[in-house]
Amino acid sequence: MSEKPSIKIYNTYTREKEVFTPLLEEHVGMYVCGPTVYGEAHLGNARPAITFDVVFRYLQYLGYKVRYVRNITDVGHLEQDSDDGEDKIAKRAKLEKLEPMEIVKLYTEAYHSVMKKLNVKSPSIEPTATGHITEQIEMVESILRNGYAYESNGSVYFDVEKYAGSNPYGKLSGRVLEELLEATRNLEGQGDKRKSSDFALWKKAAPEHIMRWNSPWGAGFPGWHLECSAMSTKYLGKKFDIHGGGMDLMFPHHESEIAQSVACNACLPANYWMHNNMVTINGQKMAKSLGNFVTMNQLFTGSNPLLDRPYSPMAVRYFILQAHYRSTLDFSNEALLGAAKAYKKVINGLRIVKKFTSPESWQTDDALCQEIHKLCDACFDGLNDDFNTAITIGHVFNLLKKINSFYTNTLSLTHLNEPTFLRMQQTYVDVVEHILGLQEEPVEKVDTFVEGLLDLYKDAKAQKQYDKVDKIRTYFKSEGIVIKDMKTGVDWAYEE
């Protein structure tokens, strides 16, 4: 694709919708904050993953080369996102009587398995915080050299007040430093920080702390915000195109990332900041810390008191995509059931449109062709306007209405012309399957199908309908299955 459409992105940093212009033509760098792997993935983890999966897919579809980095946080994320709580992973390890790295492996694999079910593409690079300790130490040294941090009793803190003196600290999250200082004034003088608004770049490890590394300041571990700055710089450069994540990460995480990167590299890290909104339940944020969350595996199996029934991974993906990523997404069984039904309509459309074959002759109706082209354009208009999947899905349904009319012969494909026919087919498949990432879910109950066919086989045999018997045998054989007629009855086995 040579001529790329203009895409608008709502930039959280400038609070404006801006035309997307990559730093390097044809090449896009994108960094998204991934999960802290200390528990099972839940809806709050799935939303950013799916949101940025669509961004990744669409940019690639348009012909951009995208380097998509999504990290795994496996150290340094402390309770309450604070500088003094217990490490979330170490805490979980203690609870489960495992090594922290066993927890990391367990939940990284669980996360990957959920992502696969949701048809979320793997990022180009998936770096871990523990794998980049050297880079993080180097970044701390450089921030110290530049005068924006100080060492205190084996820990290193970022000097927020000094930074804010010459930089717009708080611009992303809309926080005002004075208010932050005011709110936490009575905590002043506690611990090793000079000011409560300062944040840890490196923390001294208490003697009982298992996750520790040597550093110029003694044994310790990196602050949570630091990994993303160090790893995005390493893999995408000092300045890259898109930085994404959930809205709850804006402060302190992303605000701190910006401060660290500017203090180290003297430039803002990302050109566009994108934040997906929260998943809510009865208007309240769904979060692990609030205990009102549903894990993805509970959704897939229906095993949570909040759920009336299980919902398939693709129904959940559809549920997430039917809302624009900047809107809140309210969880309810009604909404999920609605999504499950709508998803099936879209997929039935996919099966129909893939089976359409080009007519041999045409009696072109120009008005109809124009209408189809407009419907196809509209599907992309939604995507080009800040990746608005809600609008796109609406237009996919408009296109589907036409497709169904052709399917039921209310309209005839011969009234199109070849380019229009091909565009309709291509657009539906591309948007649904390749960009929204909605795919047909295999029917899981294969056994039930096989048993049903075996019953037909038994009936045919009993009625001595040998042509039918042979037909069923041949069909089974073509699928690598042999029917076994035994004294004890009929069974099947894989052909050896």
Contacts with Zn ion, residue ranges (CB under 5 A): 33, 228
The token duo for 171 is: 């611009």
CB of 129 to Zn ion, least distance (A): 10
8-11 and 16-19 as β-strands: parallel, antiparallel, unpaired?
antiparallel
Closer to Zn ion at the Cβ: 41 or 321? 41
Q: In which element (H, E) is residue 486 found? A: strand 481-486
Q: Is the bond preceding 252 in cis, omega lying within 30 degrees of 0?
A: yes
Side-chain-side CA neighbours of residue 4 (13 Å): 20
Closer to Zn ion at the Cβ: 33 or 262? 33
What is the Cα–Cα distance from 470 to 123, expressed in whole angstroms?
49
Question: CA dist 37 to 286, 294, 355, Å?
Answer: 17, 16, 43
Q: Which of 133, 163, 134, 136 is nearest to 148 (CA)?
A: 163
CB of 257 to Zn ion, least distance (A): 6
CB of 435 to Zn ion, least distance (A): 26
Closer to Zn ion at the Cβ: 131 or 338? 131
Closer to Zn ion at the Cβ: 269 or 437? 269
Burial 130-167 (b: 16+ CB within 10 A, else e): bebbebbbebbbebbeeebbbbbeebbbbbbebbbeeb
Closer to Zn ion at the Cβ: 67 or 423? 67
CB of 12 to Zn ion, least distance (A): 14
CB of 141 to Zn ion, least distance (A): 21
> Under 8 Å CB-to-CB from 491, ≥6 apart: which residues?
454, 483, 484
CB of 47 to Zn ion, least distance (A): 16
CB of 241 to Zn ion, least distance (A): 16
Closer to Zn ion at the Cβ: 243 or 324? 243
The token duo for 332 is: 């309810």
Burial 2-18 (b: 16+ CB within 10 A, else e): eeeeebebbbbbeeeee
CB of 263 to Zn ion, least distance (A): 16
Burial class (CB in 10 A: 0-12, 13-18, 19+), 492: middle
Query: Which backbone phi and psi does 95 adopt, to 5 degrees?
Result: -60, -40
CB 349 within 8 A of CB 403: yes
Closer to Zn ion at the Cβ: 232 or 417? 232
Closer to Zn ion at the Cβ: 33 or 69? 33
295 DSSP assignment:
B
Other CB atoms closer than 10 Å to residue 225's CB: what's the count?
26
CB of 21 to Zn ion, least distance (A): 24
Other CB atoms closer than 10 Å to residue 318's CB: what's the count?
27
Closer to Zn ion at the Cβ: 58 or 224? 224
Question: CA dist 332 to 234, 303, 315, 438, Å?
Answer: 41, 15, 13, 21
Other CB atoms closer than 10 Å to residue 321's CB: what's the count?
25
Closer to Zn ion at the Cβ: 57 or 225? 225
CB 329 within 8 A of CB 323: yes
* Distance from the Cα of residue 61 to its chain's centroid: 17
CB of 130 to Zn ion, least distance (A): 15
Closer to Zn ion at the Cβ: 33 or 93? 33
What is the Cα–Cα distance from 383 to 388, expressed in whole angstroms?
5
CB of 6 to Zn ion, least distance (A): 29
What is the Cα–Cα distance from 471 to 483, expressed in whole angstroms?
12
Q: Which amino acid is at 233?
A: T
Closer to Zn ion at the Cβ: 55 or 315? 55
What is the Cα–Cα distance from 262 to 345, expressed in whole angstroms?
49
Q: Which of 7, 4, 3 is nearest to 274 (CA)?
A: 7
CB of 67 to Zn ion, least distance (A): 16
CB of 32 to Zn ion, least distance (A): 8
Closer to Zn ion at the Cβ: 33 or 90? 33
